[in-house]
Amino acid sequence: MSAMAASGEHWRALARLVRAEVRTYIRLALVLTVGASLPLAGPLLVRRVVDLAASGSASTADVVGPATAYLVIAIASQFLAVFVTWLATVTAWNTANRLRLELAEHVLSLDLEFHRTHSPGELIQRIDGDITSVSDFLSKIVAKAVSALLLVLGMVVVLTVLNWRLGLGFAVYALIAGWIAGRTRDRAVGETVTEMAAHAKMYGGIEERLTAGEDLRSNRAGPHVMWRFIQDNTEVLAASMRSEKAFIAFWARVQLTLIVGVAIALGGSAWFLQAGAISLGTTLLLVQYALMLRRPLEDLVDDFDVIQKASGAMVRVGELQATRSALADNGSASPPPGALSVECVGLGFHYGDGDPILTKVNLSIPAGRTVGLVGRTGGGKTTLARLVLRLADATEGQLLLGGVPIQDLPLGELRSRVAMIPQEVHLLAGSVRENVTLFDASVSDDRVVDALTRAGLAKLVAGGIHRRLGGDELSLSAGEEQLLSMARIWLRDPDLIVLDEATARIDPKTEERLHDALAELTQGRTALIVAHRLSTLHSVDEIVVIDGGRILEHGNRASLEADPNSEYRRMLDLGLEAQR
């Protein structure tokens, strides 16, 4: 049914999405062809009954034949329809799952800036919600639309055989009807995109507020949260009203076109019949065929929201697929094996149009050294660490690892050679083991136990590493979560380690116990340790003091400690707890 055709852009988007499963879709089309031709026979049989009755000489037995055939075909159609549904659903789900995983992989590969500006709730909606819309479209709509199209073709063929003028008239009518429906449809699509954006915003807001539930409860923020929700909900309401109005305008046009078709069939038949060109049975056949167009169309209208959502979703999926990471991955140089040196030359960084976070940073750290980065929060320590991991590219200057500019290293090699324990701890739904290995099944249980023990979580190991984390079963304190996140590093063999406030949530006693394990870890590797608590750094080789995006001081720890005029000494004197 070309009336339901998406615009060229949407079809191209869809074609790209389903390219991988082309064969299954062809098989589906074949089954649909058989399914579409069966219903054509019904009205032909009714025509036979009417013409027999009109002849005035028919017996009951004459009518029973076509009536029985009608019933048999009607029942067979039912079974075929169920089969078609099954095939269409399986096919659509295969496509949908492939797309979900491809998109998830793609989104994970995008840069930090992308994740900073898109909440997980919004991304769930775009990866899962949008793909579900596309999948519903494929399973519910495309099959129906294709069989409707085949049905129209079949009708044209049958009518042409009966009387070529009827066939021609019907074909012209079907084309006009399709054109009218297609023209109105696109206007409705724009409204759907707005509606889905309103939904995404609302769900994103809900997800954030659920995550912040404890903060909000303990600060009596309930009424405020509810007011913000109502604002979002009102936008959703307004957007869906607009989108529904656009839909109904489209639907009305299609219905009118159809009924005009029936009216023409009736008026035309009256004229043809009077001219003796057709029988009364053929008149009823025409009316039946015209009415048969309405049913698949109303099915499609029932699912119109699915079409609308899918059209919007296809565009959005395409947009997401087209979003490229700001970090080009086209390097091919490899620094020498072993510990990596770090060198910053005139390094500067700022977000978008924001103020500079790092300015003209020049820093040289030889391979194998352990260096503490200290300074006030917001001074640029974390940003520098992120640049070393290439979570973002510097806006000025250059950063070299092992003498190779960081952009020239393939990202895969960079990620495997440089490891970072970030400030934020993220756990996933799964067992203790799965959270340490991040679902890597090839890591042995022994290694996991060893890593957890080194990270000071012997107590957790004792309870079993296959226990599920979170929820009612096993909840960890913020400090334990951080230790667990830290344990991941013992499963790897990096050449450069960055600890970004990795022990900030851990009390000094526990940190003290970790000390030897960390010292062993940094052996033979370069390590950058960002810390607030200066006691964390009591055995590093060098100290770098950063403030206001600049390097204030860089030197040997022991000599800075001994120098009464050094910034580091001053900080030590203030940070009373670092005195031992």
Partner 1 sequence: MRGRPPGTWRLAWRISQHKPKPLWLGTLLFTIFFCFPVLTGLVVAGALRAIEAQNTGRAIGFAFLLILTELGRIVSIYYGIIWFIRAWELMQGLMRANMLHAQVVSGGKDAGRPVASAGEALSTFRDDPEDVADFVDSWLDVTGGLAFTIIAVVLLGSIDRVATAVIFVPMAVVVLLTKLLDDRIKRYRRLDREATVAFTGQLGDVLSAATTIKLNDAHAPVLAKLGQLAERRRYTGVRDRVLEESLQTTSSGFAEVALGVMLLVSAGSLAAGNLTTADLALFVVLLGYLGFLPRMLGRMLARRKQSVVALDNMRRLVAGQDGANVAAPRHLPIDLADPQPEVIAEVPRIPLEQLRVSGLTVSFPAVDGAERVEVVSGANLVLKRGSFTVITGPVGSGKTTLLRAVLGLAHRATVGGTVAWNGQEVADRGQFFAPPQAAFLPQVPNLISDSLGDNVVLGSADAELDWALELSAVAADVAAMPDGVDTLIGPRGVRLSGGQRQRVATARALARRPELLVLDDLSSALDVETEKLLWQNLSDAGITVLCVSHRLVAFDLADQVLEMEDGRLKPRSSSTDSV
Tell me which residues in 45-84 interact with partner 1 (CB under 8 A): 46, 49-50, 52-54, 56, 58-60, 62-64, 66-68, 70-75, 77-78, 81-82
Residues present in the chain in total: 580
CA distances from 145 to 11, 37, 303, 379, 539 (A): 13, 14, 11, 60, 71
Name which of 366 and 438 has its Cβ closer to partner 1.
Answer: 438
Amino acid symbol at 416? S
List the interface residues with partner 1, window 226-245 (CB under 8 A): 226-231, 233-234, 236-237, 240-241, 244-245
Closest separation in Å from C-beta 10 to partner 1: 23
List the interface residues with partner 1, window 309-348 (CB under 8 A): none
Rg of the chain in Å (alpha carbons): 35
d(CA 281, CA 22) in angstroms, rounded, equals: 42
DSSP 439-483: T-TTS-HHHHHHHHHHTT-HHHHHT-TTSBPBTTTB---HHHHHH
Count residues binding partner 1 (CB under 8 A).
191
CA distances from 467 to 456, 473, 480 (A): 18, 8, 15
- What end-to-end distance do the CA atoms of the chain give, in Å? 82
144: which 2 tokens?
């129906």
Distance from CA of residue 89 to its chain's centroid?
21
* Range in contact with partner 1 (rule: CB under 8 A) among 145-153, 361-369, 435-443, 554-562: 435-443
Name which of 8 and 337 has its Cβ closer to partner 1.
Answer: 337
For residues 519 to 558, the per-residue mask of contacts with partner 1, x marking binding by CB under 8 A and - elsewhere, is -------------xx-x-----------------------
Q: Is 350 in the site for partner 1 (CB under 8 A)?
A: no
Cβ proximity of 391 and 501 under 8 Å: no
Q: Is 124 in the site for partner 1 (CB under 8 A)?
A: yes
Closest separation in Å from C-beta 108 to partner 1: 6
Closest separation in Å from C-beta 324 to partner 1: 16
Q: Can you tell me which of 147, 382, 407, 566 binds partner 1, judged by CB under 8 A?
A: 382
CA distances from 553 to 67, 528, 545 (A): 97, 15, 5
For residues 351 to 380, the per-residue mask of contacts with partner 1, x marking binding by CB under 8 A and - elsewhere, is x--xx--------------------xxx--
**Residue 377 burial (CB count, 10 A):** 9
Q: Can you tell me which of 28, 123, 384, 452 binds partner 1, judged by CB under 8 A?
A: 123
Name which of 119 and 370 has its Cβ closer to partner 1.
Answer: 119
Q: Name every residue whose Cβ is closer than 8 Å to that of residue 16 and which is 6 or more positions away in sequence.
A: 318
In three-state form (DSSP H/G/I as H, E/B as E, the rest C), the secondary structure along 148-180 is HHHHHHHHHHHHHHHCHHHHHHHHHHHHHHHHH
The number of C-alpha atoms within 13 Å of 489 and in the hemisphere containing its C-beta is 27
For residues 501 to 520, the per-residue mask of contacts with partner 1, x marking binding by CB under 8 A and - elsewhere, is x--xxxxxxx-x--------
Q: Is 35 in the site for partner 1 (CB under 8 A)?
A: no
- Please work out, in degrees rounded to the nearest 5, the angle formed at the alpha carbon of residue 512 by the alpha carbons of 493 and 340: 30
Closest separation in Å from C-beta 268 to partner 1: 9
Q: Can you tell me which of 5, 171, 197, 273 binds partner 1, judged by CB under 8 A?
A: 273
Name which of 69 and 363 has its Cβ closer to partner 1.
Answer: 69
Name which of 238 and 519 has its Cβ closer to partner 1.
Answer: 238
* Range in contact with partner 1 (rule: CB under 8 A) among 275-283, 330-338, 402-410, 553-561: 275-283
d(CA 540, CA 371) in angstroms, rounded, equals: 6
For residues 291 to 310, the per-residue mask of contacts with partner 1, x marking binding by CB under 8 A and - elsewhere, is x--xx---x-----------
Amino acid symbol at 186? D
Q: Is 115 in the site for partner 1 (CB under 8 A)?
A: yes
List the interface residues with partner 1, window 141-200 (CB under 8 A): none
Name which of 311 and 503 has its Cβ closer to partner 1.
Answer: 503
Q: Can you tell me which of 116, 183, 187, 324 binds partner 1, judged by CB under 8 A?
A: 116
d(CA 520, CA 498) in angstroms, rounded, equals: 15
CA distances from 426 to 297, 438, 478, 510 (A): 49, 11, 11, 21
Q: Can you tell me which of 161, 266, 328, 562 binds partner 1, judged by CB under 8 A?
A: 266
Q: Can you tell me which of 331, 348, 356, 479 binds partner 1, judged by CB under 8 A?
A: 479
Query: Quick check: helix, strand or coil at residue 367?
Result: coil
Q: Is 206 in the site for partner 1 (CB under 8 A)?
A: yes
Closest separation in Å from C-beta 269 to partner 1: 6
Closest separation in Å from C-beta 307 to partner 1: 16
* Range in contact with partner 1 (rule: CB under 8 A) among 107-115, 155-163, 186-194, 554-562: 107-115
Q: Indicate the helix (H) or strand (E) that contains 228.
A: helix 222-274
